[in-house]
Amino acid sequence: RLLNIDDTQIKQLRPEDAWKIIGSDMAQQAIKYTKLGWYVFPLSGKKPRINDWENNATKEESIIKSWFDGWPDSNIGIATGRSGLLVIDKDTYKPQYEQLPVNVSQETVTNLTGNGGEQLFYKMPKGQRLGNSTGDLPMGNDVRGFGGYVVAPPSSHPDTGNIYEWEAGRSE
């Protein structure tokens, strides 16, 4: 069992619950995520541009516009736990990647990362406040919850220049 919870407690974030995220203006993209109830903040590459990012991530359009006007080259960060998300980050491109030993549904909203990995988005189980996990999982797998964040499309990976994107068919 993942994180000592029953797998049935991880409710899938269904694609029909989500989005049609289209376009290239980063502030507008970030604002679209807030319509899903997600808290966003600007990133420099993959690192927060603001202090205390988890508490200062916002859904306020004027703040988001100000951030992205001031830092037009920013990527978009989503504060996972605060947004009610539990994200499994799979670095499948790494040679030492090991499959998770649990039956986690792959049929959920999926972010294809700019370095060749994927992030599976789930709703945080009700009544749970799950944090991040890295060392307790097989190589190449991390969990992002409270205290964590993910880089969101259409951000660009700082090393590869590749664009993060939602996987077709699971994220529309």
Contacts of residue 77, defined as CB under 8 A and 6 or more positions apart, other chains included, come to 40, 41, 42, 43, 48, 53, 57, 149, 150, 151, 152
- Give the pLDDT of residue 62: 96
Provide φ and ψ at 7, rounded to 5°: -55, -30
The pTM of this model reads 0.82
The SS3 call for residue 79 is strand
Whole-angstrom CA distances from 52 to 73, 77, 100 are 20, 13, 31
Which of these, 118, 108, 78, 77, lies nearest to 170 by C-alpha position? 108
Residue-level pLDDT, tens digit, the chain, 172 residues: 333 334 444 444 444 443 333 334 899 999 999 999 999 999 999 999 999 999 999 999 999 999 999 999 999 999 999 999 999 888 767 777 777 666 666 678 889 999 988 998 989 988 889 888 866 777 777 889 999 999 999 999 999 999 999 987 655 4
- Give the pLDDT of residue 5: 35
Distance CA 71, CA 169 (A): 32
Residue 80, amino acid? T
- Give the pLDDT of residue 15: 42
- Give the pLDDT of residue 103: 63
Which of these, 41, 59, 60, lies nearest to 50 by C-alpha position? 41
